[in-house]
Structures are given as C-alpha cells and as structure tokens.
Structure 1
C-alpha cells in the first residue's frame, strides 16, 4: 500500500503560516492595539480596554489561503460597569474611530467585528466584547462570559478564549491533530476556490469535528482518512442514523454551528464532497503506486499537495522482485 505520510507532512509545511508572515501579523496586531489603548486613554473615562488573541492564529492551525489574504483575530475587551455599557453600534464606533487612520484603507465595520485592512494581503479583525467584572487572571472572567457586540443580534454571550483553551487541551501531546485540522482547511479552501458559490463549514466547525472525531495513526494519510470517516458517521444523516450537527464545546453550547449550512443544496454539496474525499482516500491507501495515490489526494487538496517529488522506485522494485520470483517458479516447474 502507498504510504504518503512524508508527502502529507511536506504539504503541512507548505500550507502552514510561516514565521515571516506570523511576525508580520503580530507586529500589525501590536500597532492596532496601541491605537485602541491611546483612544481609550484620551476619550473614555468610564472604560478600560484589554486584548486577547483568538482564532486559528492563536491555536496554530492557520493555513496560507489560496487567495494569499491572511487574517488575524484579536478580541477587544472593554471593561466597565453594567450601567455604562454602550450600545453595540457605539462600541463599534469607538473601535472604528481608534483604528481609522492605521492604514490607507478605510476600516470595514462588519457585523461581528471592525476590520483593519493592510495592503500586504492581510487584515486584522477586531471582535468587540464587554466585560462587567474582571478577575486577577486576565484570561478568565467572573460570573458571566463576555458579551460580544453583534450588530444584528445585540450583545450576546461569547467566550472564544475558552474555546482556545478547549482546543489546546484536545491537541495536548497530539501535534498530528493540528496537522489534520490544517488539511481539512486546505481541502475546504481548494473546493471553494474551484467553485465560488460553494459554501463549506467554517474553520471552527472543522476544528471541532476533527477534535471530536480524531483518529491517531503513525501515518498522516491514514489518520486523515479515518478521521474523515468518523466525521461522516457523525454528521451524514443521509447514510447513517445520526444528526447533521456540530455543537460548540464552550459558550454557547446549545448552538448547532452546522445549522447555517443546512440549506438543502449547501448541505448536499458538502456531504457529497466529504464522501468523494473519503472514496479517493480509500483508493489512495490501497494503491501500490505512490504517484497514483498522490494524484487521488491531490484531486481534493489541490496542486500544492506535492506529487512532483514522488518516484515509484519502490513500486518498480517490488514489481521486479515479484517478476524474479515468478521466473524462478516457472524455471523450477520447467525443470
């Protein structure tokens, strides 16, 4: 059987966020934080501000998107008394005003964040939270979780840092899990590049599904395939007696994150793509030729999946050895 573990780890090195880009994003994040601190120091007497990184950057599962446009999420935490809590739009306006001169591009005031756009093909997303009380530990909060300023839903409970802590525990001593998450994100990125109208689940959903259905193996190709099969058994209710659902392990635990991807066509396209990925993986594992197996994976993971360096010397050697044994048997029978 074709063992492509080394090819997968090479692919991981290709798609993961490199140190140069990571430092660039970190520097930009630091500059944005300085702008916001300065704004609050000069304009807000009843509020203080702090920050916590969140999302794939903090969990070390970021991939280089095919569009080349990186992003980083940095939570802005506004602290103040309950009676001094601003409206959601006012909170957005504060952050917008704080960062509006950071780059030459005008910030975007999105539904759940303010986005600072940099010309070097990346942006910093700033979700805004309000906290009534603060413990001595800056990473935990007393009583209730932070409130996210959501422009269409109002102030809603949300605690992305606890999600990070949850994933850190899942990935503890299991570096392979982070690679599996990156492979799933690369698959999703490739599929959506091929079809702009295709709507795949978010990176958070893939992170949860991978963590809850992770199958460890010394080979990444087998680990990915078995994890995909476990995910399918959990969510594909067309084939199994199961529910099409994925619940957040932290606030809000009652939210089915797959609900927004449950429209008939959206759901069907995703589950069909998942099934096709699994079938190709099964075929790849069983093939003798590494080149042929690599082509099966590359179909779903894209041209960045490194097949060009693969030679079939081992397969040819095996075939040659078999031919020699067969020849000896024939000669012996002839004798």
Structure 2
C-alpha cells in the first residue's frame, strides 16, 4: 500500500500560514485594535471596548486560499449598560469611523462585520458584539451574559464565537493531526469552490465529531471522511442524518440547513463520495505516484505529487504478481 503521509504533511506546510505571515497578520490586527481603542477613548464616554480573536486564524486552522487572499476575524466587544445599547447600525458606524483610514483600500461595512482590506493579500473582518458585564478575568466572559452580534438587518443576535474557539481548542488539544485534517478539508472545499460546499465551521465540527487518529495522515483523512459520510449522508447510509449542530450558541441551529436544497445537497454528498472513493483507491495502490494522482484531482494541484521520488523498478516489484492490477488515474 502506498504511504503518502509525508506528501500530506508537505501539503500541510504548503497551505498553512507561515510564521512570517502570522506575524504580519497579527501586526495589522493590533494596529486596527489600537485605532478602535483610540476612537472609543475620544468619542465614547459610556462604552469601553475589548477584542477577542475568532475563526480559523485564532484556532490555527487557516489555509492559504487559491485566491491568495487570507481572511482574519477579530471580534470587537463593546461594553456598556443595557440602556446605553446602540442600534446595530450605530455600532457599525462607530467601528467603521475608527478604521476607515487604516489602509488605502476601501473599508466595507457588511451586514455582519466591518471589513478592513489590505491590498489583495488579506483582509480583517470585525464582527461587533455588545455585552453588559465585563468580568476581570482574562477572557471577560461569563456564563449568563451571552454576547450579541450586531447584524445590520436582523438586529442584535446572541452569538459566542469565542466559546466555539474554546470548544475547538479543548477538542484539538495535543492533536496536531486533527488540525491538519481540518486544513485538508478546507483545501478540498477551496479547490471545489464552484460547488459551494459547506463552510469551514461546518467541516471543523464534522472533523472533530468524526476524527480518527492514525499514524498516517492519508489514512486518518480517509477514515475521518468515511465517518463524516456515515454520519450525514442519508442517501447512502440508513442511520445517517443530514445535520451539523453548533456545539455552542446557537446549539439548536443545524448549519447544514443552508446547504439542503436538492441540488446543493446532492453536489456536496456526491463530491464527498467521490473523494472517499478515490481515497480508498489511493491507500490500496502500490505506486505512490498513482496514489498521489488520486488525491490531487480532488484536493488540487498544490498537492505535491511532483516531489515523490519513486523508481520504476520499485513499482515493477510491487506488481510482480499477475493478479495485482494497477489503477489508472482516471477512475473515481
């Protein structure tokens, strides 16, 4: 059987954030934080502000997208009394004014966040939350005062992305392989962007819930994919349910509802099945190059097949027995 563990870990190095890029993103994020703190010091007597990183950058599962543009999410938490609570639009205006001149690119006020654009290489999204209590502990969170997200069209919505980060950090503690599996899933969805596959949050939850630890990343990835399929693909598995619930607020929200139209669901589950079929073939063939081609057509050209050094005589030995057939690269 072809062992592609090293190829997968090399792929992880290709798509993961480098230390240099992490430092650059942190520097930009901290500059934005300073802008917002200065604005509140000068303009808001009844409110204070703090920050919490969220999303894949905070969880260390960010990948370099094919487009080349990174996305960083940094939660802005406004603290004040209930009677001094602004409208979501007002809260957006405060943050927009604070950061609008941070770069020479256009700052965008979206429904769920304010976006600061840094040329074409990355952007920082600033979702805005309101809390009426500010604890002295490091996390400034308590169990009763759930943050509310400022949504410009839906109003204030209970949302706690930092709780999701804490949940993931606990599940992924001492499990670097799990973080790599999440990155591989994100790389697959990025390569299949035309299918509008589920979000990174969905695949993060599905990966945690179905993670299979193995010595080899290719086997772990395949068996985790099979676990995901068995849990959600109700077209192929009788006990499956097409569901993915948040582990934190809102725990009643099935995140797969957004991907449940007949066409979108079929595209997703068929793509998942095709990836699994190729993965099964990849771990069974003898040639590493053949195995790599199986994965590459799903995960993308960045999957480093060209780095595989395989001698023809080694492959010939693997197929010395007449009843062993070599897969071609066109199946699955």
Cα distance change on mapping 1:322 and 1:273 into 2, 3 Å: closer
* Cα drift, residue 114 of structure 1: 0.3
Cα distance change on mapping 1:58 and 1:308 into 2, 3 Å: same
Indicate the SS of the match to 1:308: helix
* Cα drift, residue 321 of structure 1: 8.4
1:22-68 per-position Cα deviation (integer Å, ceiling 9, x unaligned)? 11111110110011001101111100000001110011000000000
RMSD: 1.5
Structure 1: 4+ residue segments shifted above 3 A: 317-324
Instruction: Identify the residue that residue 48 of structure 1 maps to in structure 2.
Output: 48
In the alignment, structure 1 residue 265 sits paired with structure 2 residue 266: no
* Cα drift, residue 224 of structure 1: 0.3
Task: State whether residues 286 and 315 of structure 2, in contact with CA within 8 Å, keep that contact through their aligned partners in structure 1.
Answer: no
1:73-102 per-position Cα deviation (integer Å, ceiling 9, x unaligned)? 000000000011000111011100111111
CA distance in 1, matches of 2:59, 2:288: 32
Indicate the SS of the match to 2:115: strand
**Structure 1 regions of 5+ residues with no counterpart?**
325-335
| Larger Rg over CA atoms | 1
Cα distance change on mapping 1:53 and 1:288 into 2, 3 Å: same
* Cα drift, residue 312 of structure 1: 2.6
CA distance in 1, matches of 2:224, 2:190: 18
In the alignment, structure 1 residue 151 sits paired with structure 2 residue 152: yes
Instruction: Identify the residue that residue 222 of structure 1 maps to in structure 2.
Output: 219
Indicate the SS of the match to 1:115: strand
Instruction: Identify the residue that residue 15 of structure 2 maps to in structure 1.
Output: 15
TM-score, normalization by structure 1: 0.92
CA distance in 2, matches of 1:151, 1:321: 62
**Structure 2 regions of 5+ residues with no counterpart?**
322-332
Instruction: Identify the residue that residue 166 of structure 1 maps to in structure 2.
Output: 167
* Cα drift, residue 141 of structure 1: 2.5
TM-score, normalization by structure 2: 0.93
1:217-250 per-position Cα deviation (integer Å, ceiling 9, x unaligned)? 0000000000000000111111123211100001
* Cα drift, residue 152 of structure 1: 2.2
Matches within 5 A, 1:115-126: 115-126=115-126
Instruction: Identify the residue that residue 212 of structure 1 maps to in structure 2.
Output: 209
